[in-house]
Amino acid sequence: MYKFLLCWRYLRTRWIALVSVVSVTLGVATMIVVNSVMSGFVVEMHQRLHGILSDVVVESRDLNGFPDAQRHMERIRQVAGDDVEAMTPTVDVPAMLTLHNGGQWVSKPIHLFGIDPMTQGQVSAFAQYLQHPENRRQPSFNLRDGGYDAHDHQADRDALPRPAMDRAGWKHRHEWVRAEAFRRSLELPERRGQPPADDAVPDAAARSVPDAFANMPAAQTEHVFDPDKEQHTGTVLGIAMISYPGDGGGLRFALLPGDDVRITTVTASRREPKFRTWDFTVVDLYESKMSEYDSQLVFVPIDVLQEMRGMIDPEKNIAYVNAIQIKLRPGADGYAVRDKLRKAFPADFYGVSTWQDKQGPLLDAVRMEIIILNILLFFIIAVAGFGILAIFLMIVVEKTRDIGILKSLGASRGGIMGIFLGYGLSLGLVGSGAGLVLGLLFVYHINQIADWVGRVTHHPIFDPTIYYFYRIPTIVDPGTIAWIVLGALVIAVLSSILPALRAAMLHPVEALRYE
């Protein structure tokens, strides 16, 4: 009983001891803030990495792919059984995107995905990243009249608007056609109607009209593509491909849904591959906020891509695909499914991997970063332990006479030790409790703090154009916090063991004589 009373009194009357736990407080607060922000980033990053990747993918080892997606999906369902929630076939191939910007043709390397718009949304978060609300419900490769988000639907209300997106859609296409017609009317007559030297075009002339305006004056019996009323096959471009940060942090667009682009890729023939170039109409933009994806991925309908690459067997009418994307039911073990599928599909022809496998090095790097940070920060608290040790030894010396008195009243060695261990524990509780409150307050107000520091120093701490986040993401994990606080308490108790032992071992007579 006296132990608790004395602990409590020492705690209230010894300010120097409270000062010694300030470092525990700061250490705990820093660890909580760092862990919350890091796990916020990790979860955000996982979501974005996972956004386009399905849980497990079975893919061919070459660009030619494998035939008959349906049979493969049946086999997968046999092997993985209940764990599979949805599947969709895809074709993916490196390609080149060419767009007409400011009177010049600009080319960019891309990764071209042929997807099934009906089922793609079931296996990945693809649809969530589109800019038209209807497309988010059900992705479509048809150009919409309008209604594209002029405000990033993934950001807070205070994110900068994108007024250009108000024009996107058929409205923009009509304007573009008129402007283009006007521009052409100014060109020299002899350059008009001169078809571009493109030897990949002829086999699909109906789809690829490299210069629709060149054909307009000539009256032809066959169907004439009218860009004012028709669209090419739709395509979805990553937003970072065609936009760049403008003044003041908003996005400027080089291209909008409604514009045409040209995509060049290679055929999947077993013979010598050939280049193919087709025209597509941009119908939506894809914004996962993972710059790696947003600057590289282009989506087109899978059947169009199969046709473009010659992946449909004309005799048997069987289409080839490159990969089957699999979504697992919640809670299923992706690695177990992967291992089962690896046994079922010969490794010479098929690669099976989870989305974590695909992004393994990045995820490992982040995990390592978190571990190292935690170790370093824990050293802060360990250093605080030595502060407690030093102050405690001082307090034991100061309290030598009291220790003698307590022994003369019959207090045991264990009891004396208990006073100082309890004192250390309560200091740890006070220190880590204050750290907990401080850390949580900081985490909950981190964005205001970042804004304020940015205003004061005139250097924005957190630039949304770099991170693609408008807010610093934080996740407070109670388990992590419990470990941090427990660690701080253990350190406080450990560092009070030596002073407590010293107090317990004091000779009562010498302690009583001590002045």
**Rule CB under 8 A: which residues touch another protein?**
1-2, 4-6, 9-10, 13, 401-402, 404-413, 415, 507-509, 512
Distances in Å between the Cα of 7 and the Cα atoms of 162, 388, 426 are 62, 15, 8
Is beta strand 233-238 parallel, antiparallel or unpaired with respect to 275-286?
Answer: parallel
**CA pair distance 99, 106, nearest whole angstrom:** 5
Smallest distance from another protein to CB 393, Å: 19
C-beta closer to another protein: residue 310 or 499: 499
Smallest distance, Å, CB 420 to another protein? 14
Q: Which is nearer to another protein, 371 or 505 (CB)?
A: 505
Residue among 108 and 413 whose Cβ is closer to another protein? 413
Helix (H) or strand (E) holding 368: helix 360-398
Shortest Cβ 4–another protein spacing (Å): 7
Residue 107 burial (CB count, 10 A): 11
Which is closer to another protein, CB of 60 or CB of 400?
Answer: 400
Q: Nearer Cβ to another protein, position 197 or 409?
A: 409
| Long-range contacts of the stretch 205-214 (C-beta < 8 A, 24+) | 207/232, 207/233, 207/278, 207/279, 208/277, 208/278, 208/279, 209/279, 210/262, 210/277, 210/279, 213/180, 213/181, 213/184
Rounded least distance, CB 25 to another protein, Å: 24
Question: If we measure between CA atoms, which residue out of 464, 512, 498 comes closest to residue 395?
Answer: 498
**Closest CB 10 distance from another protein, rounded Å:** 7
- Return the number of the residue (258 or 404) whose C-beta is nearest another protein: 404
Closest CA to 42 of 356, 495, 415: 356
Give the nearer residue to another protein in terms of CB position, either 14 or 338: 14
* HSE-CB of 408 using CA atoms within 13 angstroms: 12
**What is the rounded distance in angstroms from the CA atom of residue 64 to the CA atom of residue 150?**
40
Nearer to another protein, 176 or 423 (CB): 423
Distance in Å, CB of 408 to another protein, minimum: 5
436 contacts 23 by C-beta, under 8 angstroms: no
**To the nearest whole angstrom, how small is the minimum distance from the Cβ of residue 415 to another protein?**
7
CB of 8 to another protein, least distance (A): 9
Distance, in Å, from the CA atom of 250 to the CA atom of 255, rounded to the nearest integer, reads 15
Name the CA dihedral angle for 141, 142, 145, 148, rounded to a multiple of 10 degrees. 0
Nearest-approach distance from CB 417 to another protein, in angstroms: 13
Structure token digits, residue 109: 């390397």
Q: How crowded is residue 217: how many other Cβ atoms within 10 Å of its Cβ?
A: 8
To another protein, the closest distance from the beta carbon of 498 in angstroms equals 21
44: phi > 0 → left, psi -120 to 50 → alpha, else beta; which?
alpha
What is the torsion angle, in degrees rounded to the nearest 10, for the CA atoms of residue 26, residue 28, residue 33 and residue 39?
A: 160
